[in-house]
Amino acid sequence: MPFIEVIDYANAEGKLLKIYDELIGSRGKLAEVHKIQSLNPPTIMAHMDLYMKIMFGKSPLRRYQREMIAVITSANNNCSYCIKHHAEALLHFWKEEDKVNQLAKDFRKLKLEPKDKLLCILAERLTVNPAYSGKESLLAALREEGFGDRAILDATLIIAYFNFVNRIVLNLGVDLEEDGGKGYQYE
């Protein structure tokens, strides 16, 4: 149960109702993480705009890599809401539930491509300790795997975004949707 007042769809009016309808139209349904911001509707659209640009916009990172980063970041923050949502999205790409579940538990036990493992390490380190040591060597390793500066920027933006959202979810008590977070549009 949320720790603050939330305006549900049935009680939404004006600009908030329009925003809710736009979200349902573009994403297939309304997420609790959006409703938690219902007392400040303009932030919902700013939040969604950033999300759509970093997760679905043009990037050297593939969609599965972005979802993988989201899962690792959320797992390191113990944010079960975001883990569930983005593990579900990652499952859409990987098609292996055991692999997705293991990623959230301990990615080091998976046989990942070296480039994907480095993205997971980056997500973990930047989440657990933003001033982590060894930054230069990790960024150099990412470059050796073919990631340019734009890919490194995009990975960093995704990690920062999920740290932001994880804190909203955890601090304000966002509950998982009744359907378990399934059924969103992933591509």
Domain 63-172: state its class: mainly alpha
Res 179 pLDDT > 80 = no
- DSSP letters, 72-141, are HHHHHTT-HHHHHHHHHHHHHHH--HHHHHHHHHHGGGS---HHHHHHHHHHHHHHH-TT-TTHHHHHHH
**Is 7 within 8 Å of 17 (Cβ atoms)?**
no
Taking only the tens place, the pLDDT of each residue in 69-80 is: 999 999 999 999
Taking only the tens place, the pLDDT of each residue in 104-158 is: 999 999 999 999 999 999 999 999 999 999 999 999 999 999 999 999 999 999 9
**Is 37 within 8 Å of 43 (Cβ atoms)?**
yes
Distance of CA 151 to the CA centre of its chain: 16
Helices and strands (H and E) in the chain: how many: 9, 0
Domain ranges of the chain: 63-172
Contacts with 2 (C-beta within 8 Å, 6 or more apart), sequence order: 32, 36, 172, 173, 174, 175
